[in-house]
Amino acid sequence: MIPPANPEIGQQPHPMVPALEVKNLVKHYPGVKALDGVDLVVRQNEVLGLAGENGAGKSTLLKALVGLVRPDSGEIWVRGEKVRLRSVVEAANHGIGMVFQEQSLVPNLTAAENIVLGSEGAGVRGGVYRWETMRKLAQEQLDKIGSDINPLARTDTLSFADRQMVEIAKVLRIEQRSQHPPVIILDEPTSVLESKEIETLFTQVRRLREFASVVFVSHRLDEVLDVCDRVSVLRGGQSVGEVATAGAAPADLHRMMIGSTGSDDHYHDQAYERSAEPLRPMLSIRGLSGKTFRDVDLEVAAGEIVGIVGVHGSGREDVCRALFGAEPTLAGEVTLDGKRLDLSSTRAAVAAGIGYVPAERKIEGMVGPMSVADNMTLTKQQSRCAGPIVMPKRQSSLVDRWIERLSIRTPHRGTQIQRLSGGNQQKVVLARWLVAGDIRLLLLDHPTRGLDIGARSEVYRLMRELADSGVATVLLADSLEEAIGMSDRIVVMSDGKATKHVPCPSGDKPTPLDLVKEMV
């Protein structure tokens, strides 16, 4: 049931009045126009998809809708009332809540505290938490999305996927907090979820449509078409059109996003031929064990891409982190190019010629306030120095060359990396290892997470260029299709063990179903 209108803010709108409307929204940043007259209409009781390449303006628009960014001009209307959203609290008071792509939870609080944060209600009396009440309030939201997370678990002990479910449960509390039919924004909510969790989320989104309006953002265009009623497309900070999802195809959206026809096989290697020469072993793992994996055996040859697939909790992410010295190991031996590998620290891994692109880009992959140039040369300081002396011209020349080569969209090499779109941030993180020039093993943990079709294709091209140069690559792909399309071999992990090694040669690829049978 829709809660009654708050008389202090406004009455229930006429059914034809949009739940949310944006008119000619403009936002400038130094050297770039993030929004250039964006228009958007979200109808009552619908799921509106928002699509666009990285850098199209989606993130800036969403932040404006939840009070994190103040537009330079334009108007925002909520249920027929013109509003100024100067904070997240003001947006929430108008019934607007958001699940952020880059998580916004407080890590040292429990899941329950995060879920009810700012709207504790009966969970607090006299400034003191009533833990059982808090647990029940949080459990009510977790039950809606079918999650078995312990509400009293500390958030920093949960996996990334579980933290994403806590984010979703948290924003659902707006149903109780707001006196309006809510507008819920989901920014890349499925990026780290497994197929079962995604279907659970979609069920919840469809339920929300009955009494709320939803803005759904995803680079997975098939998901957008599956769960949304309409899709609005941004390009270059402008609204370029919308399409009803009934009868539409991903190629239709891609054409609007970049002006050309997309293809679902952009990662496949029809034109990519392997050398007939035998590949030289580079990475050799024997009996590697850690807290969440055991007795893992794996070999990766120079110039080979090996994908590791498995369901959530299979241990594949921790194996990848252990190889970079970021997770402790309990047993086993790892050699790189014939030499015993020191797994005691990330510093030792980098010194051995190992590069790592983490899944949580903004937390582990970059330093937000630092410039593009400084982030790109962070690992190899000597690339910008002559002895102990920093040589700005040397750094500028090197960084500008990679900015041009990778088509990184940035106003300037000195721009803070946190001001770039997600796709361009990822290119900078990848460029860090290209700048280093001496990488022998590259560990890629969901390198295309949150990237649009064009940016993903560029990442795939870079991966193949690195393979051609002799770099051994371990890939934790964003989807089974991506793993199949990019890998020379695939290792299946289940319950912490490598249970199956699947050949993946060009022209004779396994199907996703072949892998799923081994994963579960």
Q: Average pLDDT of 277-287?
A: 83
C-alpha–C-alpha distance, residues 223 and 457, integer Å: 19
Residue 500 confidence (pLDDT) above 80 = yes
Contact (CB, 8 A) for 62 and 234: no
Contact (CB, 8 A) for 357 and 445: yes
> What is the model's pTM?
0.62
With a pLDDT cut of 90, the percent of the chain lying above it is 38
Closest CA to 366 of 355, 354, 378: 378
62-117 pLDDT per residue, tens: 999 999 999 999 999 999 999 999 998 889 888 898 988 767 789 999 999 999 88
pLDDT of residue 31: 64
* CB-side neighbour CA atoms (13 Å) of 161: 18
Mean pLDDT of the chain: 84
315 CB neighbour count, 10 Å cutoff: 23
Domain ranges in the chain are 19-95+182-257, 107-177, 281-353+439-519, 368-437
pLDDT of residue 148: 87
Q: What is the identity of the amino acid at 426?
A: Q
> In 81-176, which ranges are E strands?
81-83, 96-99, 124-125, 128-129
Residue 1 confidence (pLDDT) above 70 = no
Helix (H, G, I), strand (E, B) or coil at 83: strand
- The residue count for the chain: 520
Which own/partner pairs from 497-501 qualify as long-range (CB within 8 Å, at least 24 positions apart)? 497/293, 497/294, 497/295, 497/296, 497/315, 498/296, 498/297, 498/298, 498/308
Higher-confidence position of 253 and 46: 46
* Fold held by 19-95+182-257: Rossmann fold (3.40.50)
478-493 pLDDT per residue, tens: 888 889 999 999 999 9
pLDDT of residue 6: 40
Residue 416 confidence (pLDDT) above 60 = yes
Domains 19-95+182-257 and 281-353+439-519 share a fold: yes
Q: Average pLDDT of 27-53?
A: 89
pLDDT of residue 162: 83
Per-residue confidence at 44, pLDDT binned at 50, 70, 90?
Answer: very high
Residue 291 confidence (pLDDT) above 80 = yes
Per-residue confidence at 14, pLDDT binned at 50, 70, 90?
Answer: low
| From 228-232, 284-288, 402-406, 489-493, the region with the lowest mean pLDDT | 402-406
Residue 265 confidence (pLDDT) above 60 = no
Alpha helices by DSSP H, 3-42: none
| From 69-73, 104-108, 159-163, 438-442, the region with the lowest mean pLDDT | 159-163
Q: Average pLDDT of 459-483?
A: 89
Does the domain at 281-353+439-519 match CATH 3.40.50.300? Answer given as yes
Q: Classify strands 32-42 and 20-29 as parallel, antiparallel or unpaired.
A: antiparallel
Q: What angle do CA 159, 161, 162 make, to 5 degrees?
A: 65
